[in-house]
Amino acid sequence: MAPGSTPRGHARAIWAAAVDAVRPEPLVQAALAGDERVRAARRVVVVGAGKAGPGMAAGLEAALAAHLDRVEGLVNVPAGMSAPLRRVRLHAARPQGVNEPRPKGVAGVEEMLRLIESAGPDDVAVCLLSGGGSALLPAPVAGVPLADKLAVTKLLHRSGATIDEMNCVRKHLSRVKGGRLAEAFRGQLLLSLIVSDVVGDPLDVIASGPTSPDPTTFAEAQEVMRRYGLLAAAPASVVRHLERGCAGEIAETPKVAAANVENRIIGSNRVALDAAGRTAETLGYRVLDLGAFVEGETRAVATAVAGVVRSIRADGAPVAPPACVLIGGETTVTLGDNPGKGGRNQEFVLAVLAKLGAAGMRGVTVLSGGTDGEDGPTDAAGAVADAETLAQLLRGGVSVTEHLAAHDAYPCFEQVGALLTPGLTGTNVMDVRVVLVEKV
């Protein structure tokens, strides 16, 4: 068979179809097609942030090509993604591979706020949000330095706070998150176009919800800090700001959607999985789609998926081979001391190999990849492996279980050419995993 017609080639094609379906440029073009509210506006202000920012901004300029003289804006993106456009400036807000707020990001947000606050009653704003947007939209409240806000985030992370708890605190330390960006707008329409990187697509969580009402309060943010014993360790500026908010000296984040704000999810893990399923069916597979809500520890999810594979092989249930199992969502990896090199997607593939073993991997191909092209601190999006991959590792004396225990998947797959390395894709809708089970 030609390389592309092998099961491994099929897995790559199915994953690529998922990523192609959430390319930001055509998604934005489709979202703005025929929207006369935007085309007829006296002025269109564009703001936003995220890994998909360049493609989203390019899509906006393409959709409004006949009206670009009325468009101006700025979108914060990672460095290396700031190619020039005609009317929307792509601002390098942080270095690549450093997913933390930086002073350059603050400068970009300052310009966004100036644009938003300058909008007149006949103006329209378009906000472009995507994965990574939270770290790319730093704007600490007055009196709280960026370093202090970063310190609190790190304290919360080390204490085991959930993402919802961290967002609750961060929103109450920001001038734009938790609906504050939308609150500053006084024009006729703020249209927020969103490529979601969060399970369930909650508007108040994606990029910390700069254009969405915030259900949390100052009192809840203070309680999070108290729950983890951080009020004594946190910078005084943060503690004081939360105290003032609880005392009513500072206005709460907005709790109700403004009439002139419209939030719209245009790209998601669900969209990607649907496209993957269509491609798999075209290639002759029966599709079992496990959905976009898959979370939890990576190894536990891999163990469950390996069980599904065994059931397909032994009983033809819940679907008979040739089968394609699709898994979306985003898992986590709990790292111990001195972890090796890898990411959650590479670890997923290694965990399936370890669970199924040589006999169980016969006729099985497993691929897992981050749709943004990144997996942990590596240059790979994930990995793709089959029975021959495992055989190569075993012949090379590699202990799959030892590497799995050390969270050290990257060197295994690197030495047998099994890394998935598409480069940065320009989008981000969490992960897509493809498991093919052939007749044997």
Per-residue pLDDT tens for 4-58? 689 999 999 999 999 999 999 999 999 999 899 999 999 999 999 999 999 999 9
Tokens of 358: 């040589």
Spatial separation of the C-alpha atoms in residues 40 and 147, rounded to whole Å: 42
Q: Could you report the per-residue pLDDT of 200-255, keeping only the tens digit for each?
A: 999 999 999 999 999 999 999 999 999 999 999 999 999 999 999 999 999 999 99
Closest CA to 359 of 314, 402, 316: 314
Residue ranges of the chain with pLDDT lower than 50? 1-3
Contact 4, 13 (CB under 8 A): yes
Q: In sequence order, what are the residues at sequence separation of 6 or more whose Cβ sits closer than 8 angstroms to the Cβ of residue 391?
A: 358
Which residue segments constitute the domains of the chain, with CATH numbers given?
23-139+174-217+252-267 (3.40.50.10180), 269-437 (3.40.1480.10)
pLDDT for res 34: 86
pLDDT for res 261: 97
pLDDT for res 83: 79
Could you tell me the sign of the dihedral formed by the alpha carbons of 77, 344, 166, 225, in that order?
Answer: negative
Tokens of 418: 């099994």
Q: What is the pTM assigned to this prediction?
A: 0.92
- Count of CB atoms within 10 A of residue 61's CB? 21
At residue 369, the 3 state secondary structure works out as strand
Class of residue 212 by CB neighbours under 10 A (exposed 0-12, middle 13-18, buried 19+): buried
Q: In sequence order, what are the residues at sequence separation of 6 or more whose Cβ sits closer than 8 angstroms to the Cβ of residue 247?
A: none
pLDDT for res 1: 41
**CA 250 from chain center: how many Å?**
31
Q: In sequence order, what are the residues at sequence separation of 6 or more whose Cβ sits closer than 8 angstroms to the Cβ of residue 343?
A: 333, 370, 374, 375, 376, 377, 378, 380, 382, 409, 410
Chain length of the chain: 440
Please report the DSSP string for 15-41 in residue order.
HHHHHHTT-HHHHHHHHHTT-HHHHT-
pLDDT for res 305: 98
